Amino acid sequence: MSKKLGLGCVEFAVPGRTIEERLGLLESRGMWLELVNDGNRNLEHVLTAIANFKTPVLSVQANRLHSLKLLSDDRGEREAAVNHVKETMGWAAATGAKNVVTTLTYGDPSAKEPYPLALELFREFGRWAEELDITVSIEPLGKNRTSFLPGVSDVFRLVSELGLENVRLMVDTMHIHDNGDDVVGVVTTYLDEISELQLRDTDSKPPGLGGIDFSGLMKTVVKKFRGLLCLEYKPGSNPYADFNHACDFVAGLISAVR
């Protein structure tokens, strides 16, 4: 893991009522932000907020892909999803982020031939990403959330076939675990190919509050990983307690290895 970049957190897991409050909290911990583009605000407001803090934005989520359909034969559905990804890429370029988080599809793809369509779309995204000097990353969602390319090896095959420097694999520890795979083994196998590693425990809990053993994983990550390391979980009834636990838990594992 790069010492310079350190640990980040996805925006919706950071406590606070506003982006300003979240940026301030991350700044106090020396962390970076994974911005979420959910379609509910404009870029100008985001840029104004970021300018007032020392918190870097290193990644941006194309969050509306939870509902929009990239892999659809319906032109309107597909274009809405494509435009959202392109907008998010523009956000990344404007905020100085180098990574955009995307997914292929939640549930079942509605396209009759989803694999060729995925290749076509991500070739286009790759060209845009090269022009903007950013990376578009594809997150495998696990078999509990998608029927199409649910595993890390599945998405890696797609990325390898594309062969584009600006389209890469990213992974989420919970999705790996949900697939019944060994988290440490999978991450170790694809370590050099992973652009971003999202730390999430079982049932979307903060790391250390579920069933995944992160100690062995962090030994590998601290020594060899050169991508982005990000907390990504669903906050519970006490988001501040969850955030503090997650940060302290991961920091403790990192410190123990170093």
The tokens of 88 are what? 């998010």
pLDDT of 196 strictly over 90? yes
Each residue's pLDDT tens digit, 4-28: 449 999 999 999 999 999 999 999 9
Each residue's pLDDT tens digit, 58-115: 999 999 999 999 999 999 999 999 999 999 999 999 999 999 999 999 999 999 999 9
**Residue-wise over 175-198: b if at least 16 C-beta within 10 A, else e?**
bbbbbebebbebbeebbeebbbbb
The whole-number pLDDT of residue 117 equals 98
Each residue's pLDDT tens digit, 203-253: 999 999 999 999 999 999 998 999 999 999 999 999 999 999 999 999 999
Which one-letter DSSP state was computed for residue 170?
A: E
**Residue-wise over 93-104: b if at least 16 C-beta within 10 A, else e?**
bbbebbbbbbbb
Domains, the chain, with CATH or none: 7-257 (3.20.20.150)
The whole-number pLDDT of residue 258 equals 80
- All residues at 6 or more sequence positions from 81 whose CB lies less than 8 Å from its CB, including other chains: 64, 65, 68, 69, 70, 72
Q: How confident is the model at residue 3 (pLDDT cuts 50, 70, 90)?
A: very low
Whole-number Å distance between alpha carbons of 169 and 160: 9
* DSSP string over 204-241: GPPTTSSS--HHHHHHHHHHH--SEEEE-----S-HHH
Each residue's pLDDT tens digit, 149-192: 999 999 999 999 999 999 999 999 999 999 999 999 999 999 99
pLDDT of 2 strictly over 70? no
